[in-house]
Structure 1
Amino acid sequence: MGYSNVTIAMDDTKVISTSQSVSQITGCFNAMCEEKSAQTIWSPSIDAEVWLDDPLSLQPWMETQEIVDLGPIGIQARFGWYVSTALVTTLYSVDGLIVDHWRVLQNSQMTAYLTISTNEIEVLTTESAATAMFKGQRYCDRPECTNGVYYPPWCTQNNSQCVILLADYPESNFDKLTDQIQSLGLMVGVAWIGPNLKSTVQQRQEKNQPTLFFGWTPDDLTSSGAFSRVAFPSCQENAAVPDVDGATGGCDFPWQNVNKVAWRPLVVGAPYIYDLLKDVTFASSKMDGIMYSYYFSRLNMAEFACEWVQRNSGTWEPWIPSGSAGIKRTILLGGLFETLIDPTSPNSGIEPGARMAIDAVNADLNILPNYKLTLASMETGCSPETSLLSYFKFYEDRGQSLAGNFPFHSGFVWYFCVSAVSKTGFHGNEMQSRGIPPLLLQVL
């Protein structure tokens, strides 16, 4: 849309708190915004994926006038524990064991199936030179972690009775995961392995090595069908878990709405981006399909995104604001012509003439500067029945499938066909019964 120096910043450290996400955008340490971080002042920021703790969690931040809520992106998201589906299926069919349930993790029986060597954990939990200021730093350097791994009191580093849950960054999930483990008495330790999480899970999956990991949906890993979500107690926050002595937590992660949030000066400084982001939406099923395709594409994210944009212009074109740096909305015109292929017909030049007229309009920047005309030609032979059926087919087969992508549909009808068309009742009850708008006749 004509903007330069735009950078897409990937943030792998998923934050559970809405306040944490918005704080990164505004630079404010809290919703009162009494003080800002010097690092983020004058740094325009957009977060297209802010997970809302509750429907009103953005309200205190909106009152600071530092951000603008661009509305929901259309999906709901959820954190969770995941385990290899192949293991779930096998153990249930052989032993009747329900692996995708938290109670199976209260004893040591799963250590025989979910094994990760000490050497592998040592490598994975250590930051590489590419991701750390000092090579050798652990992703989890908290006092509660031993060599980058959290072990509950009933597990030790050399205790083979506990399985390891792989997670990304402790900044986003340490408290919740340790609370679940302690409250439910799970025989589980947690290894935070940063950006290695996805590649490690994929590599182990390819080697038929079952894995227990912490993830979220929608995501390419969890949308692949290769992993099953582990069920946890459904209960209110801080409420006791049924049948667990002394438990005060351990509840499952709730579904969360996801909104787009931006730095307020964006509204004035980059209005086209603001208008674009307001319109960007994905249905949950659509997003799951995208994530599924990405998982099996074996492309990197940039390559997949480029391919998706090239193949799905019908999805994103309606988001582009009219008048934004040469981007034009399309008007689809249905053309009803006596003939398209008979060069002996005295009227064979009508359809080419219509295309020439459309090309002339598109070439003149003073005419419909924000739109592009496109012609869909149909041969009718000037038959009333064929004319009507052609229009129905045009609207139902093309119009409905493109409904949201084109502002309106207009029809070109050759002048000798006007009387024939009127005989078929183009503006009559049949069109209304089909939910089809009246055809706009342009006589050539």
Structure 2
Amino acid sequence: MPRFLKRGVLLRSLAVGLALVMVSSCAVRTDQIARDPNTVRIAVNGWVGYEASAEVLANILREEMGYEVQLIRVDEQPSWQALDQGVMDVIVENWGHEELFELYGPDGNGTAVDGGPNGNEGVIGWYVPAYLAEEYPEITTLEGLKANTDLFRTAQTGDKGEFLAGAPGFVSQDQGMINAFDLDLEIVYAGSEAAQITEVRRRYANEEPVLFYFYDPQWFQEEVDLVKVDFPDYHEGCDADLDDVPCDYPVYDLNKIFRAGFVEEDDYAYRFLDNWKWTNSQQNEVAQMIADQGISPPEAAEIWVSENRDVWEKWLPEGHETR
């Protein structure tokens, strides 16, 4: 997971500060900049799964529906600001961000609309390889993990077990979970998500123990067989103190966020994006082509679209014919 580890808290303090200047007691719609009605502007946030979704949608909008599409690479929070300013039409994969919806949704500026689920379920957590869970079935429970942290000891961590993370710049609750559950673990950063995947793949090939942060949808889940460690379920407020988090990560029903003016236009492009839903496996299939097979994002999308007409034809709005 990119810098979107625990996306719901990422940049929260900045978002709250922006509320002072971007929301007044008399909310003002700022998204009414005129756009070419034949152009759809899609945010592309910085992880390959999101890119897979955006490229597939862009391919269908262009090749089957006759729209121009602008794919605009932008980080998560600026995507919302772009919707508010009227220069973006849709965010296709939102991971929570309740604080941003408060700023830009109906109770704030009124420029962002919850577009409903995109079909993906966002699951963040701690994972071990299936071969390790088969050998030590108890290791996927909190008590079983606590009793077996020595399995993950490395030369770097000494008497503590290693918990393999991505990059230190990621925001996460992992240290808070280690503290709250009194786990004899030390976080080791691979340096990046790509480096983390490379290391997990190496250990997986050798059937070595590894405990690491990961998530789904993620293309690597299609390559390896992983088992998620079971922690006490998330409940609201349990992650309020990131130094002491006695719960798992929340599960996100990932959703779409539309520019309010785009919804009001109610054209075929909006109805198509409103209809669109797909599964974690479908996203992972395209993302794996991009990240693991070296296929360019547009080509990966084209391959998937050509092989899955029975899936995407159901997303087309009533009354609109493909080319």
Could you tell me the TM-score, scaled by structure 2's length?
A: 0.63
Q: Relative to total residues, which structure has the larger helix share, 1 or 2?
A: 2
Contact 1:77 1:218 in 2 (8 A): yes
Measure how far apart 1:268 and its partner are: 6.9
Q: 1:190 offset after TM fit, Å?
A: 1.7
1:250 to 246, 255, 276: 246
Q: Give the Cα separation in 2 of the matches to 1:223 and 1:250.
A: 30
| Deviation string, structure 1 residues 370-426 (Cα, Å, up to 9, x no partner) | xx8xxxxxxxxxxxxxxxxxxxxxxxxxxxxxxxxxxxxxxxxxxxxxxxxxxxxxx
1:283-362 paired onto structure 2 within 5 Å: 286-288=279-281, 291=284, 298-300=292-294, 302=297, 304-321=300-317, 328-329=321-322
Kindly state the Cα deviation for residue 212 of structure 1 after the two structures are TM-superposed: 1.2
**Match among 148, 152, 164 for residue 114 of structure 1:** 152
Distance 2:312 2:20 in 1: 34
Alignment RMSD: 4.3
TM-superposed CA distance for 1:106, in Å, is: 3.1
What is the match of residue 229 of structure 2?
230
Identity level (%)? 19
Task: Provide the secondary structure at the position in 2 that maps to 1:221.
Answer: helix
Conserved 8 A contact 1:18-1:57: no
Provide the C-alpha distance between the structure 1 equivalents of 2:317 and 2:16, rounded to a whole number of angstroms.
Answer: 29
Aligned equivalents of 1:65 and 1:258: distance in 2?
A: 21
Match of 1:162 in 2: 160
Task: Name the larger-Rg structure.
Answer: 1
- Equivalent-residue separation in structure 2 for 1:235 and 1:253 (angstroms): 6
Q: Aligned AA for 2:216?
A: T
Q: CA offsets per residue over residues 58-100 of structure 1, 9 Å max, x none? A: 46531212212222112332211001111121234xxxxx111
- CA shift, 1:48, in A, is 1.3
Bigger shift: residues 296-305 or 216-225? 296-305
Residue matched to 1:216: 215
Q: Which amino acid aligns with 1:12?
A: P
Instruction: Output the amino acid matched with 1:216.
Output: Y
2:104 aligned residue? 61
User: What residue is the counterpart of 2:276 in the other structure?
Assistant: 280
**Distance apart, 1:213 and its partner CA:** 1.1
Distance in 2 separating the partners of 1:259 and 1:81: 23
Q: 1:38 and 1:210, CA in 2 relative to 1: closer, same or farther beyond 3 A?
A: closer
Ranges in structure 2 where 5+ consecutive residues have no aligned partner:
25-29, 31-76
Which secondary structure does the structure 1 equivalent of 2:152 belong to?
coil
Q: What is the aligned partner in structure 2 of residue 202 from structure 1?
A: 201
Distance 1:90 1:217 in 2: 24
Is contact 1:23–1:30 with CA below 8 Å preserved after alignment?
Answer: no
2:103 and 2:210 map into 1 onto residues whose CA distance is 40
Matching residue's letter, 1:62: G
Residue 251 of structure 1: how far off its partner (Å): 0.7
2:184 maps to amino acid: M
CA distance in 1, matches of 2:154, 2:199: 11
Partner of 1:83: 128
Q: Which structure is higher in RCO with an 8 Å CA cutoff and minimum separation 6?
A: 2
SS in 1 for 2:178: helix
Separation in structure 1 between the aligned mates of residue 144 and residue 10 of structure 2, nearest angstrom: 33
Unaligned runs of 5+ in 1: 1-10, 93-97, 119-158, 241-246, 330-371, 373-444
TM-aligned CA distance change 1:280 to 1:225, over 3 Å:
same
| Residue 33 of structure 1: aligned partner | 22
Q: Is the 8 A contact 2:217 2:283 kept in 1?
A: no
| One-letter amino acid of the structure 2 residue matched with residue 101 of structure 1 | T
Q: CA deviation at 1:161?
A: 1.4
Contact 1:50 1:258 in 2 (8 A): yes
Determine if contact 2:120/2:253 at 8 Å carries over to the other structure. Answer: yes
Kindly provide the CA deviation profile for residues 138-176 of structure 1, in whole angstroms up to 9, marking residues without a partner as x.
xxxxxxxxxxxxxxxxxxxxx5111222223455533x1
Go from structure 1 to structure 2 and tell me whether the alpha carbon gap of 1:316 and 1:38 turns closer, same or farther (over 3 Å shift). closer
Q: Aligned equivalents of 1:238 and 1:23: distance in 2?
A: 16
* 1:50 maps onto 2:94 in alignment: yes
Q: TM-score, normalised by structure 1?
A: 0.48
Q: Deviation digits for residues 262-283 of structure 1, max 9, x if unmatched? A: 334544789444222111112x
Note the C-alpha offset of 1:221. Answer: 3.0
Q: AA paired with 2:96? A: L
Contact 2:10 2:171 in 1 (8 A): no
Distance 1:248 1:163, change over 3 A: closer
Amino acid at match of 1:33: M
Partners of 1:13 and 1:171 within 8 A in 2: yes
Aligned residues: 258
Q: Distance in 2 between matches of 1:189 and 1:220?
A: 26
Aligned counterparts of 2:141 and 2:167: Cα–Cα separation in 1: 24
